[in-house]
């Protein structure tokens, strides 16, 4: 028997596999058993509703895709009134994902969501590349001080497990991960998408309505692995690995680099059952390798 149980802050996951925010909704329940996942991460919400960016919002690129959804969502009230009740059959931990313009908005979201019984943890999206954050012209996760300020504000507003979702669009991920840890994050998750663009030579226009978008999928995996490794080496909190995970081998690579858990994003669009197959694949890999506890894999990279 192999034991896949892992821990992120105060939450225990029966296995380390989650679907990444924004790439997976309750409708997947028609295609697979969502309760087999380690936890369910909701799409990022903001305090007020957002209409998102102009279309086209997605396009395929070699070994990946670009998206510029722009955090379209119905806001906090809609999430509590409509989205959470739609998850009533959920038996695994529910992780809400939040984004905002400033500490006041993040605080308000954290406080309100802490009162919702069903929510086990908050993923703090400091890293969506497709939105402007008020007066700021950089992502929160691109700046150590801003990362500290927002995580500190959330930490003071909630007793829930706090996961800081970081951006790859930085020079030194170690410093940002450290700032999140110092501010009280229970874990860091990385990476969000890499800023990119695509061009149509016939129209001579950018393919995406928003010009720039976020690159995801297999193309970003090597960058994600490197950053997960650096975050693991520079902090003492659990690291959640994200970026181009398509199968169990990719997932194991992230765990060897130090990920205590992983998230599957773009793969859900190619194969809705990808995350379930990844859980089964990790189990078989562990059994075949004589590994009983998933902990034995985490950070076990030989260098
Ligand atoms: C269409 C799409 C929508 C996304 N929406 C969100 C979101 O709402 N919140 C968030 O934190 N990340 C969002 N992401 C980023 C993913 O959660 C993930 O960090 C990223 O895609 C890298 O993982 P992948 O290569 O497995 O897709 C989105 C990604 C895609 C492709």
**Weakest mean pLDDT among 46-55, 89-98, 134-143, 214-223:** 134-143
Query: Is 136 a residue whose pLDDT tops 90?
Result: no
The pLDDT-based confidence of 29 (bands split at 50, 70, 90) is very high
- Binning pLDDT at 50, 70 and 90, where does residue 138 land? confident
Predicted confidence at residue 128, as pLDDT, reads 78
pLDDT for the residue numbered 180: 98
Q: Indicate if the pLDDT at residue 129 is higher than 90.
A: no
Query: Which of 255, 198, 244 is CA-nearest to residue 66?
Result: 198
Mean pLDDT, residues 28-33? 93
- Would you say the CB of residue 20 lies under 6 angstroms from ligand 1? yes
Mean local confidence (pLDDT), 142-151? 96
Task: With 0.75 as the threshold, say if the pTM is over it.
Answer: yes
pLDDT in tens, 202-223: 999 999 999 999 999 999 999 9
Atom of ligand 1 nearest to the CA of 266: 27
Ligand 1 midpoint to CA 168 (Å): 12
46 lines ligand 1 (CB under 6 A): no
Q: Pseudo-torsion of CA 28, 34, 39, 42, nearest 10°?
A: 30
Q: Does residue 67 belong to any structural domain of this protein? A: yes
Query: Is 9:238 a contact under the CB 8 Å cutoff?
Result: yes
66 part of a folded domain: yes
Does the beta carbon of 125 sit less than 6 angstroms from any atom of ligand 1? yes
Q: In the chain, how many domains are there?
A: 1
Q: Would residue 257 show up in a list of annotated catalytic residues for this protein?
A: no
Please state, as a whole number, how many other Cβ atoms lie within 10 Å of the Cβ of residue 204.
7
| Nearest atom within ligand 1 for CA of residue 220 | 25
Whether residue 82 lies inside any domain: the answer is yes
CB-side neighbour CA atoms (13 Å) of 281: 16
Identify the burial level of 236 via C-beta atoms within 10 angstroms of its C-beta, where 0-12 means exposed, 13-18 middle and 19 or more buried.
Answer: exposed
Average pLDDT, integer, range 225-254: 98
Mean pLDDT of 248-265: 98
Lowest-confidence range among 70-79, 130-139, 163-172?
Answer: 130-139
- Answer whether 213 contacts ligand 1 (Cβ < 6 A): no
What's the CATH code of the domain at 226? Answer: 3.20.20.70
Tell me how far the alpha carbon of residue 47 lies from the centroid of ligand 1, in angstroms.
Answer: 19
What number is the average pLDDT over the span 169-174? 97
Pocket test for ligand 1, best of 265, 267, 272 (most atoms within 8 A of CB): 265
Is residue 279 assigned to a domain? yes
pLDDT band at residue 137 using 50, 70 and 90 as cut-offs? confident
At 40 the pLDDT is 98
Average pLDDT score over the chain: 96
| Whether pLDDT at 261 is above 80 | yes
Residue 303 forms part of a structural domain: no
Cα–Cα distance list, 148 to 60, 160, 182, 296 (Å) = 35, 18, 7, 31
> For residue 289, is it within any domain?
yes
Question: pLDDT class for 131, splitting at 50, 70, 90?
Answer: low
Q: What is the pLDDT of residue 278?
A: 98
- Residue nearest atom 14 of ligand 1, based on CA coordinates: 22
Enclosing domain of residue 68: 6-296
Flag whether 1 is in a domain: no
| 301 within a domain of the structure (yes/no) | no
Does residue 130 have a pLDDT over 90?
no
Ligand 1 atom nearest 189 alpha carbon: 19
pLDDT band for 134, please (50, 70, 90 cuts).
low
């Amino acid at each position: 028997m192999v034991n896949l149980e892992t821990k992120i802050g105060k939450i225990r996951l029966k296995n380390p596999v989650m679907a990444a925010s924004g790439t997976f909704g309750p409708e997947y329940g028609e295609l697979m058993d969502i309760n087999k996942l380690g936890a369910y991460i909701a799409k990022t919400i903001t305090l007020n509703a957002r209409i998102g960016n102009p279309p086209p919002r997605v396009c395929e690129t070699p070994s990946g895709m670009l998206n510029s959804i722009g955090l379209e969502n119905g806001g906090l009230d809609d999430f509590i009134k409509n989205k959470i009740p739609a998850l009533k059959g959920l038996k695994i931990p529910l992780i809400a994902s939040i984004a905002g313009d400033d500490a006041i908005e993040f605080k308000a979201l954290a406080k309100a969501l802490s009162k919702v019984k069903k929510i086990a943890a908050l993923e703090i999206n400091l890293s969506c590349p497709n939105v402007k954050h008020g007066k700021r012209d950089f992502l929160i996760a691109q700046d150590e001080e801003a990362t500290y300020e927002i995580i500190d504000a959330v930490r003071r507003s909630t007793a829930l497990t706090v996961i800081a979702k970081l951006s790859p669009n930085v020079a030194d991920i170690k410093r940002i991960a450290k700032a999140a840890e110092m501010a009280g994050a229970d874990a860091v998750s990385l990476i969000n998408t890499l800023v990119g663009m695509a061009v149509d030579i016939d129209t001579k226009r950018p393919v995406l309505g928003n010009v720039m978008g976020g690159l995801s999928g297999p193309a970003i995996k090597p960058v994600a692995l490197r950053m997960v490794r650096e975050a693991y080496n520079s902090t003492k909190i659990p690291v959640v690995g994200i970026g181009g995970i398509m199968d169990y081998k990719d997932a194991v690579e992230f765990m060897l680099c130090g990920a205590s858990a992983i998230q599957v994003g773009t793969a859900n669009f190619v194969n809705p059952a990808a995350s379930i197959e990844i859980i089964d694949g990790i189990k078989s890999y562990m059994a075949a390798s004589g590994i009983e506890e998933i902990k034995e894999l985490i950070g076990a990279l030989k260098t």
